[in-house]
Structure 1
Amino acid sequence: MTVPGQLVFVFGIVAITAAVLIALVVVFKPAGGSVPMERRRPFGNPDQGVLTRITEATVKFVETSLSRRAPATSQSTSLLVQAGLTLPRADFLVLAAAGTLVSAVVGFILQGAGMALLFAILVPVLARVYLSVLVSRRRSRFGEQLTDTLTMISGGLRAGHSVLRAIDAVAQEANEPTATEFSRVVNETRLGRDLQESLGDVAVRMKSDDFRWMAEAIEINREVGGDLAEVFDQVGETISERAQIKGTVKALSAEGKLSAIILMALPILLLVFLSLVNPKYMGNLFGHPVGWMLLGIATVMMAIGGFWVHKISDLKF
């Protein structure tokens, strides 16, 4: 098969994979917002296809297994919740498993068992990296909005509102993700949960020491009293100064982080490119025990190098 023919074949496989993933996404609709199927069709849905019944049964099985192994309190601190996604955990796991299976089949067709194993490992890793990136961005936005959040709460307290009413005002007027997190605090408090526990969960999900200080200030004020608005003003000034220092450190370390990303991605992209352009040349690497040993050594060395560069560029202050 010539190189253009191989590219057309690869494009067809990618198109089929994308179609399957889109179909799975359509099947796995996010929870919330719409009326449940049981309420719209109380006598069942006899028109469901085989694929729909299989996916629903699989999702229910995974959801039951997760509920048995993990406590209910862990759902509030899961990566999906931290990333701000409304997709249930069971749906995400089934979707990731389906993507892994399809990628493994594509890799087996292209190169054989070696490429199938590589793709099967790569898809879950990419899914975890995708969630980590969403969580990191969401936490960063939350930290950037925290100064304005404290200003809004302080203004509400000076206007004579209670702490919960001031938090409710922030939930209605702030941007994402602050609005979602504060709405969760208000809803949990109205259902009977202690305000301090809800604020503590927000601090854990966002990994924000500044917000933890705010929660501790509210708790101290509930016990001994005092001018909470003045405390929030001082905390807001401290957070603003720390944010300026953090921005300076981030700008100085950006070059090192970009170099680490390029150095880590270049060997992987080169491996995929050579496998597509000249499969016979790369077949010797995947079809021999020495090749697998070299791939393992390269993976370990890249992991050590990436961890080293990350520690060098991740400055603490």
Structure 2
Amino acid sequence: MNLPLVTLGVTLLGCVLAVLGVRSWSAGQAQRQALVDRMSQSGPLALESGRRRRFAGVDRRLRGTRLGRRIERSISATGLELTAGEYAVYVVAALLALYFVVGSVFAPFFGLLAVLIGVWGANGFLNWQRAKRTEAFISQLPELTRVLANATQAGLALRTAIGMAVEELDDPAREELRRVADQLALGRSLDDALGDLVERLPSRELTVLVSTLILSNRAGGTIVTSLRNLTETLEERKETRREVTTLLSQVKVTAVAVPVLGLGFLLVINGMRDGALEDMTGALGGRVAVLIATGLYALGFILINRLTRVRI
């Protein structure tokens, strides 16, 4: 057997296979890039505003978990232009910064407490954004019912009236109604599309409106009179909610001022003698006392918010 010739043949075969492999890999990369470019224009790699997503790898892995899907549902109800991956990365970065800042100013033990409070605060931020968006949507309900009443009085179908409301109203009603219109265009029933709207923005006013629309759509009767009466009622409730919010604003400020005063007392103690907080949290009794005090401040904050929560 001619060994040099066999070696040359194997080498040439390896080179050919290597060239074919490189060409196949290049073609796959080109197809992948083309797919990414198409999806970045209309798919999940771009937000509705056209901004490209950050941390796409983290977002893809996180959305495959139950926690990621729950975070994604919460963000979708807030109207924020964030993905679950971006939210998770920002929260982790903020918690790390919070730990080092609070630990350096007070004591390392307070840094751990700040991280725990920060985790609760991250979830509270989403809830606050959701409540804020719900309030903004509720304030637009009188105008929404007026548009729907005018459209149905003109003889238009309810689906067409919702499409007109998308063009007439501003955000957040425009974006939420666009979601409803898109779901209707994809073949979902009116009951399911409006039910998803109530789940995203839960409120009594919206529940009443959706119930009126669904019942009228099922019965097949006119809804002009019902919508006009509902418009007047929503206008009155809007003014009442505004008055109640103004009356309770001072009490809500008190709920925030109480924990801030506690932090101020800690700074005063640490300023009186450098390292006093580290010595206090270095003992088991001091840590227990700090935990009890933190729990009492949190309890006071929660109770004040509960007492000022007036259902209208």
The aligned residue for residue 80 of structure 1 is 75
Match of 2:47? 31
Q: TM-score, normalised by structure 2?
A: 0.75
Is 2:288 the partner of 1:297? no
> How many percent of aligned residue pairs carry the same amino acid?
19
**Alignment CA distance shift 1:273-1:207 (3 Å):** farther
1:203 and 1:209 in contact (8 A); partners too: no
Indicate whether 1:148 and 2:146 are aligned. Answer: no
Q: Tell me the residue number matched to 1:230.
A: 225
Matched, 1:189 2:184: yes
**Residue 273 to residue 88, structure 1, CA distance change in 2 (3 Å):** farther
Which amino acid in 2 is paired with 1:160?
Answer: G
CA displacement, residues 64-123 of structure 1 (integer Å, 9 cap, x when unaligned): 224xx677xx678x2211211131213211321232234334445555531431332233
Does 259-268 or 145-154 show the bigger shift?
A: 259-268
Q: How far apart, in 1, do the equivalents of 2:129 and 2:279 lie?
A: 38
Q: 1:255: which partner in 2?
A: 250
Match of 1:121 among 99, 116, 120: 116
Cα distance in 1, alignment partners of residues 97 and 51 from structure 2: 32
- Who wins on radius of gyration, i.e. which is larger? 2
Residues 250-289 of structure 1: pairs in structure 2 closer than 5 A:
250-271=245-266, 279-289=274-284
**In 2: Cα distance, 1:98 partner to 1:109 partner:** 17
Partner of 1:43: none
Structure 2 residue identity aligned to 1:145 = Q
For 2:293, what is the secondary structure of its paired residue?
A: helix
Aligned amino acid, residue 192 of structure 1 = G
Is residue 92 from structure 1 mapped to residue 87 from structure 2 by the alignment?
A: yes
**Is the Cα–Cα contact under 8 Å of residues 46 and 52 in structure 2 kept in the other structure?**
no
Asked if structure 1 preserves the Cα contact closer than 8 Å seen for 2:166 and 2:175, the reply is: yes
Residues 106, 267 of structure 2: 8 Å contact kept = no
Q: 1:75 to 1:259 in 2, by over 3 A?
A: closer
Residue 65 of structure 2 corresponds to: 65
Q: What are the superposed Cα offsets for residues 25-78 of structure 1, whole Å, 9 maximum, x if unpaired?
A: xxxx963454979xxxxxxxxxxxxxx9xx554443222224xx677xx678x2
In the alignment, is residue 164 of structure 1 matched against residue 159 of structure 2?
yes
Give the superposition deviation at 1:293.
Answer: 0.8
* Aligned mates of 1:33, 1:141 — CA distance in 2: 20
What is the identity, as a one-letter code, of the residue corresponding to 2:279? N
Once residues 301 and 223 of structure 2 are traced to their aligned partners in structure 1, the CA distance between those partners, rounded to angstroms, is 45
| Whole-Å separation in 1 of the counterparts to 2:126 and 2:60 | 23
Aligned to 1:138: 133
